[in-house]
Amino acid sequence: MTRSIRASETQKAENLKTVVIYSALGLGTATGLFFLARHFFKKVQANQAQKSSLDEGDPATYAKQLKMAFDNDNSFGWGTSEEQVFRVFNDIPTKSMYTKVQREYSNMYGKSLNADLENELSSDEYNELIRILNAKK
């Protein structure tokens, strides 16, 4: 009788072990699928933004121009073209358009536009951009 009780307890422990293992595998698979789907969704968003970046006056166009200004100052392809950054900021018509440009920049490059501006420009240049932005309606 005690053997059958021990066998029953051993069977229950094995069943619990199996349930835990399969639950962990299922959770890991679901998490992986979630992150994979999120990756592809962001990629689709970036591709759509890139396609619309060819339209003049589109927020994605301004975002792309700013990214190009950050990356293409000299013949070596590194450094920031501050003149181009100022030109793009002067072309942005309103503060609400700038907000859209920030969103598109984030969608396209996965980075914050303001953080990149702070990294690429001196504090005086950054403050000048803020003044230009505050002067817009």
User: Domain locations in the chain?
Assistant: 1-41, 53-137
Tokens of 75: 């013949």
DSSP label at 110? S
How much is the pTM? Answer: 0.58
d(CA 129, CA 37): 37
Domain topology for 53-137: Annexin V; domain 1 (1.10.220)
Q: Which of 5-9, 53-57, 121-125 has the highest mean pLDDT?
A: 121-125
Instruction: Spell out where the chain has E strands.
Output: none
Question: What whole-number distance in Å separates Cα of residue 90 and Cα of residue 92?
Answer: 6
Q: What is the pLDDT of residue 133?
A: 85
Q: Which two tokens stand for residue 90?
A: 């002067």
pLDDT surpasses 80 at 88? yes
